[in-house]
């Protein structure tokens, strides 16, 4: 008998963001200069004190198994950080360190969703949410938002989407791919519906340290009494400390959930990388000057990208209050030919932009929002300048 791929895995779609980045790297390997705005990854080097902590951990012999849920020092540092910044009172036993925030999300979904359950996803949303939810046998229910509303879910839209099978709301704040950030009042309105309808929430707050201008961030479980008992907060070090390759994320959850997540993780991976945990500890508990320096540079790039988009007739993007993405409305540029190639969809537009101008972006329909393209400004100013020069040439 030949080996066949399972039906569950057959249904999994590859990550569009990683696919776009891989295509860009193929062109680079073929000798082309590519301006890659596709991947959500800071272009900065991991801060030196974090690297030094990893080296010290290896020299100290911290290269063996750790507890499945992570070293106690890192868990204590995480819960202390949330207490100091948000007033949230978690115990270390409510914190599970995982192999990146994506793994934390996987653990959260598998520990709380049953086959047939519905999970509400406000769209546009990150490409992996729906696939991870489907792997549990649950059903991702996509609820579209509009650019006019800042691509933010309203309480009325949430209430209208709820059915007897709805168990969960997933909220990414600030948003990937739009950069929008919910105000406290907007979160309070959503929280009222969550409590009224007895839902639980997975709050993906991986970009919460990257907030710009006068925008204020509120962690979801802080906006209403009792929300901490029905919220799983997911975050990590990847975006804040330029540590995407170190693969350390975490979740904070009610203790009964955290305990089961730990059991699941012990069977899946044994533990997160020991050396990476000590590096993350240096990031979370150490000097935060590096975070402010990176954020200041991201803010400059955001302002530059906003101006370049505004200067191209027909191109627009919603205000970017957080994260490092511009979600460009390209609908005015569809239904036409580019050097003889007919382009009708955002996917075709992004492909031709890459093929003809060597600029890599991600098509909006990958985020359940046709007619847009996501451009990451987590790239050098030189890359952004040349990329937007070429985008301007392309749409002319």
Place of tokens 């975070």: 291
CATH code for the domain of 332: 3.90.1150.10
Given pLDDT bands bounded at 50, 70 and 90, which one contains residue 16? low
CB 283 within 8 A of CB 241: yes
Crossing angle between the packed helical segments 381-395 and 289-311, to the nearest 10 degrees: 20
Alpha helix locations (H) across 113-253? 127-135, 155-161, 184-196
Q: Tell me whether strands 325-329 and 372-376 are parallel, antiparallel or unpaired.
A: antiparallel
Residues 59 and 163 occupy one common structural domain: yes
- Does pLDDT of 25 surpass 90? no
Residues 87 and 185 occupy one common structural domain: yes
- Does pLDDT of 20 surpass 80? no
Given pLDDT bands bounded at 50, 70 and 90, which one contains residue 120? very high
Residues 301 and 342 occupy one common structural domain: yes
CB 259 within 8 A of CB 69: no
User: In this predicted model, which residue has the larger pLDDT, 9 or 33?
Assistant: 33
Residues 14 and 63 occupy one common structural domain: no
Which of 285, 306, 336 represents a domain boundary (last residue)? 285
Residues 178 and 68 occupy one common structural domain: yes
- Kindly state the average pLDDT of the residues 16-45: 85
DSSP secondary structure letters along 72-98: HHHHHHHHHHHHHHH-----GGGEEEE
The whole-angstrom separation of Cα 259 and Cα 251 is 12
Residues 310 and 231 occupy one common structural domain: no
CATH code for the domain of 203: 3.40.640.10
Which of 285, 301, 327 represents a domain boundary (last residue)? 285
What sign does the CA torsion over 46, 52, 55, 56 have?
negative
Give the model confidence (pLDDT) of 249-297 as tens digits: 999 999 999 999 999 999 999 999 999 999 999 999 999 999 999 999 9
Give the model confidence (pLDDT) of 230-252 as tens digits: 999 999 999 999 999 999 999 99
Residues 88 and 219 occupy one common structural domain: yes
Segments forming the whole domain that contains residue 335: 7-45+290-395
Residues 231 and 120 occupy one common structural domain: yes
Note the Cα 365 to chain centre separation in Å: 16
**Per-residue pLDDT at 100:** 98
CB 278 within 8 A of CB 248: no
Nearest CA-CA partner of 206 in 168, 244, 169: 244
Residues 68 and 156 occupy one common structural domain: yes
Number of domains into which the chain is organized: 2
**Per-residue pLDDT at 376:** 97
Residues 82 and 228 occupy one common structural domain: yes
Give the model confidence (pLDDT) of 172-198 as tens digits: 999 999 999 999 999 999 999 999 999
Cross-strand pairs, 125: none
- Alpha carbon of 386 to those of 23, 185, 375, 392: distances in Å? 19, 39, 13, 10
Q: Does residue 327 fall inside a structural domain?
A: yes
- Does pLDDT of 1 surpass 80? no
**Confidence (pTM):** 0.95
Identify how many contiguous H helices and E strands the chain contains and give both numbers: 13, 14
Given pLDDT bands bounded at 50, 70 and 90, which one contains residue 21? confident
The SS3 assignment for 171 reads strand
Residues 181 and 229 occupy one common structural domain: yes
């Amino acid at each position: 008998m030949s080996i066949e791929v399972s039906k569950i895995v057959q249904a999994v779609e590859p990550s569009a963001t990683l696919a776009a980045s891989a295509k860009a790297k193929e062109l680079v390997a073929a000798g082309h200069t590519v301006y890659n705005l596709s991947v959500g990854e800071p272009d900065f080097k991991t801060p030196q004190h974090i690297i030094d902590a990893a080296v010290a951990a290896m020299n100290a012999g911290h290269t063996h198994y750790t507890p499945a849920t992570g070293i106690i020092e890192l868990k204590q540092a995480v819960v202390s950080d949330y207490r100091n910044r948000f007033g949230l009172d978690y115990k270390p036993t409510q914190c599970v360190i995982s192999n990146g925030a994506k793994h934390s999300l996987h653990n959260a979904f598998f520990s709380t969703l049953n086959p047939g359950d519905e999970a509400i996803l406000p769209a546009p949303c990150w490409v992996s949410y729906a696939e991870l939810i489907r792997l549990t046998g649950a059903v991702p229910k996509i609820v579209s938002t509009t650019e006019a509303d800042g691509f933010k879910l309203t309480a009325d839209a949430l209430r209208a989407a709820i059915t007897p099978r709805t168990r969960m709301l997933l909220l990414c704040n600030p948003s990937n791919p739009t950069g929008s950030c919910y105000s406290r009042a907007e979160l309070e309105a959503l929280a009222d519906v969550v409590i009224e309808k007895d839902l639980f929430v997975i709050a993906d707050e991986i970009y919460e340290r990257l907030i710009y201008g006068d925008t204020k961030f509120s962690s979801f479980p802080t906006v209403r009494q009792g929300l901490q008992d029905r919220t799983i907060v997911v975050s990590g070090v990847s975006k804040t400390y330029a540590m995407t390759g170190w693969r350390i994320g975490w979740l904070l959850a009610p203790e009964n959930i955290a305990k089961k997540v730990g059991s699941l993780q012990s069977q899946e991976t044994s533990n997160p990388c020991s050396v990476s945990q000590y590096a993350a500890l240096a990031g979370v508990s150490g000097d935060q000057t590096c975070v402010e320096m990176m954020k200041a540079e991201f803010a400059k790039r955001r302002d530059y990208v906003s101006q370049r988009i505004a200067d191209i007739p027909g191109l627009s993007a919603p205000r970017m209050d957080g994260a490092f993405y511009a979600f460009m409305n390209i609908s005015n540029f569809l239904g036409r030919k580019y050097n003889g190639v007919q382009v009708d969809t955002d996917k075709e537009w992004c492909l031709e932009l890459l093929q003809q101008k060597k600029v890599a972006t991600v098509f909006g329909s990958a985020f359940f929002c046709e007619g847009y393209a996501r451009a990451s400004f987590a790239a050098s100013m030189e890359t952004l300048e040349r990329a937007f020069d070429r985008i301007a040439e392309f749409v002319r």
